Structure 1
């Protein structure tokens, strides 16, 4: 039983490590899909990124730390 708990803890740690390295989104990123223009826009900073429904942004395009 302790071995199983250790494996689960390592798995959770590995998942969070993987997620932190594959995205640069900040907690302020609020991406919304504009279907008419076929692009994503950030409701927080106004950034825009091209892509379709299945290509959501993984990088923050905010240039400054100040919001709108």
Structure 2
């Protein structure tokens, strides 16, 4: 899993449907939020390799266009 993949995923995430998210993630790990937030950055990503998988712990910073807050 690369940083570029995560950036793409979280740019799409805010407006993605359940079906669209299923292409990127398994087991419904992220639920759709259907908000028009603008991706700003990944915050403190920690990559944890185990067997043939990588788990990532991170926060994501978005800009709420309506309220102009992050």
After TM superposition, the score normalised by the length of structure 2 is 0.24
Higher helix share: 1
User: Higher strand fraction: Structure 1 or Structure 2?
Assistant: 2
